[in-house]
């Protein structure tokens, strides 16, 4: 089943999730470095902004994911796995948002123990949710072009399937 939300001929959701996920992981890493840095708040401040950008980016990545999920036929294994994938990602964003809110307004945006625990739990959930996303694509063929093969034409010159939402790039 092809993706309904595409950017330059490719499914938009998998392209967009890498940025927020990377920012959130780095936010946790910076918080852990802060804990071992003898109170160098440059690390906690960087983590604070990484988490904010990651949550915002995650919300943006969810839009094409929702567009694709709505197009999955009801009553299928893919629809159920897609729902669990989405719920997992919502939980990840919520846990990071809570961690961010707990430190908002504190000097140096220092993370507390609760925030670090929430971030670690969120990353564990992200690993499971990412596996579910891989199951959707690799096992169930969601978001895969119907004509995919080793000699398929470029996605930039191939006409999109009927009903596909095209997100035009600014160039």
pLDDT for 86 equals 97
Say which range, 60-74, 76-90, 117-131, 140-154, has the weakest mean pLDDT. 140-154
CA 21 to chain centre: 5
Instruction: Kindly state whether residue 125 falls inside one of the protein's structural domains.
Output: yes
What is the β-pairing status of strands 5-7 and 10-11? Answer: antiparallel
Which sign, positive or negative, has the C-alpha torsion 80, 83, 85, 87? negative
pLDDT for 9 equals 81
Q: Percentage of the chain with pLDDT > 90?
A: 74
Domain that holds residue 56: 5-142
Instruction: Kindly state whether residue 156 falls inside one of the protein's structural domains.
Output: no
Model confidence at 170: pLDDT above 60: no
Instruction: Kindly state whether residue 74 falls inside one of the protein's structural domains.
Output: yes
pLDDT, one tens digit per residue, over 84-131 is 999 999 999 999 999 999 999 999 999 999 999 999 999 999 999 999
Instruction: Kindly state whether residue 153 falls inside one of the protein's structural domains.
Output: no
Q: Are 34 and 99 in contact (CB under 8 A)?
A: no
If one counts the domains in the chain, the total is 1
Q: N- to C-terminal Cα distance for the chain?
A: 28
When pLDDT is cut at 50, 70 and 90, the band that residue 161 belongs to is low
Instruction: Kindly state whether residue 101 falls inside one of the protein's structural domains.
Output: yes
Q: Taking the model in full, what pTM does it have? A: 0.86
Q: Report the SS3 class of residue 160.
A: coil
What is the β-pairing status of strands 165-167 and 10-11? Answer: unpaired
Taking the C-alpha atoms of residue 33 and residue 29, their distance in angstroms, rounded to an integer, is 6
The set of residues, in sequence order, having a beta carbon less than 8 Å from that of 24 and lying 6+ positions away, is: 50, 51, 54, 55, 58, 92, 96, 119, 122, 123, 126
Residue-by-residue DSSP string for 121-158: HHHHHHHHHHHHHHIIIIIT-TT--TT-STTPPPTTTS
Taking the C-alpha atoms of residue 79 and residue 81, their distance in angstroms, rounded to an integer, is 6
Tokens 């063929």 found at:
141
DSSP 107: G
pLDDT, one tens digit per residue, over 21-33 is 999 999 999 999 9
pLDDT for 87 equals 98
């Amino acid at each position: 089943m092809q993706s309904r939300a595409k950017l330059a001929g490719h499914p938009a959701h998998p392209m967009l999730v890498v940025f927020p996920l990377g920012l959130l992981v780095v936010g946790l890493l910076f918080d852990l470095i802060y804990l071992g840095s003898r109170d160098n708040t440059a690390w906690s401040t960087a983590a604070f902004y990484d988490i904010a950008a990651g949550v915002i980016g995650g919300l943006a990545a969810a839009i094409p994911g929702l567009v694709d999920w709505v197009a999955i036929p009801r009553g299928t294994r893919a629809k159920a796995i897609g729902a669990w994938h989405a719920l997992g990602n919502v939980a990840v964003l919520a846990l990071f948002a809570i961690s961010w809110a707990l430190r908002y307004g504190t000097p140096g945006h220092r993370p507390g123990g609760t925030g670090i625990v929430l971030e670690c739990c969120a990353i564990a959930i992200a690993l499971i949710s990412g596996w579910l996303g891989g199951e959707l694509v690799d096992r169930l063929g969601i978001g895969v072009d119907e004509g995919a093969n080793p000699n398929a034409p470029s996605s930039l010159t191939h006409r999109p399937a009927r009903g596909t939402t095209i997100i035009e790039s600014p160039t």
